[in-house]
Amino acid sequence: MISLKQATNSKKDIDFLQRCFGSPDIMGCFQRTRVPGHETLRKRIVSQAENRKYLFLIVRGVRYIGFGYADRSRAFDHYEIGITIIPGMRRRGYGLQAHRLLLDYVIIRLKARRLVAYVSTGNKAERKVLASCSFVHEGTMRQAGVTRGVIHDIAIYGILKSEKR
Ligand SMILES: CC(C)(COP(=O)(O)OP(=O)(O)OC[C@H]1O[C@@H](n2cnc3c(N)ncnc32)[C@H](O)[C@@H]1OP(=O)(O)O)[C@@H](O)C(=O)NCCC(=O)NCCS
């Protein structure tokens, strides 16, 4: 059983997020790594609602097992979402559960009509999870992604509020 918690500016939340963002093991082959400073992360967390860029922790018991985000697009009428589960906790169904919790949160609490997820075409796990959540593959941006020097195609997955099951 897992739950989703909006990030706070507590040391525990910031330390965990900082560790995730900077770790190639945790971010996987398809996401960039960066190490935001403690203060940068704190400011981002404090201004989540104002900027409509939300960060979440995925919680199992007292442990954080991953994180997620939901960013309101400046250009389009949708939220971009993403989930990362730490390596030791993968392939136990938590990725799918976390996506479902985030989908509910963004549609119900943030009142989104449409969500989008950008995923490298080679990211089988994420594509499977998105398909299981009824996201539709809407197209592919060729050579749009670069992770640690490797170029990859990025699939666009979208879901409308009316399509959520
Ligand atoms: C993508 C990710 C969130 C999936 O989390 P997870 O907890 O491993 O996923 P689940 O255990 O819920 O598995 C969901 C499905 O994907 C499948 N799957 C998981 N890992 C897989 C892999 N490496 N290759 C192929 N299928 C995989 C599972 O078998 C399951 O399929 P099923 O529904 O047919 O049983 C996780 O792999 C991850 O954090 N990856 C790194 C970060 C990332 O790429 N995030 C996406 C950014 S766009």
* Domain coordinates in residue numbering, the chain: 3-163
Query: Hey, which of 89, 97, 126, 147 would you mutate to test ligand 1's pocket, going by the most ligand atoms within 8 Å of its Cβ?
Result: 126
How many angstroms separate the alpha carbon of residue 17 from the centre of ligand 1?
20
Q: Lowest-pLDDT range, 19-23, 33-37, 45-49?
A: 33-37
Return d(Cα 66, Cα 7) in angstroms, integer.
12
| pLDDT mean over 17-27 | 96
Q: Among 1, 2, 4, 17, which residue's Cα sits nearest to residue 105?
A: 4
Close Cβ partners of 102 (under 8 Å, ≥ 6 residues apart): 4, 56, 68, 70, 81, 83
Close Cβ partners of 127 (under 8 Å, ≥ 6 residues apart): 119, 121, 137, 155, 157
> Tens digits of per-residue pLDDT, 23-38?
999 999 889 898 889 9
Contact 118, 155 (CB under 8 A): yes
Q: Is the pTM of this model over 0.75?
A: yes
Q: What percentage of residues in the chain have a pLDDT greater than 90?
A: 92
How many CB atoms within 10 Å of residue 117? 22
Domain 3-163 sits in CATH 3.40.630.30: yes
Q: Is the pLDDT of residue 148 over 90?
A: no
pLDDT at res. 36: 86
Contact 153, 123 (CB under 8 A): no
pLDDT at res. 35: 87
> Angle CA(26)–CA(139)–CA(128) in degrees, nearest 5?
45
What are φ and ψ of residue 122, in 5° steps? -80, -5
Which residues line ligand 1 at a C-beta cut-off of 6 Å?
A: 28, 30-31, 82-85, 90-96, 119, 123-126, 128-129, 132
How many angstroms separate the alpha carbon of residue 15 from the centre of ligand 1?
24
Query: Hey, which of 20, 96, 132 would you mutate to test ligand 1's pocket, going by the most ligand atoms within 8 Å of its Cβ?
Result: 96
> Tens digits of per-residue pLDDT, 92-146?
999 999 999 999 999 999 999 999 999 999 999 999 999 999 999 999 999 999 9
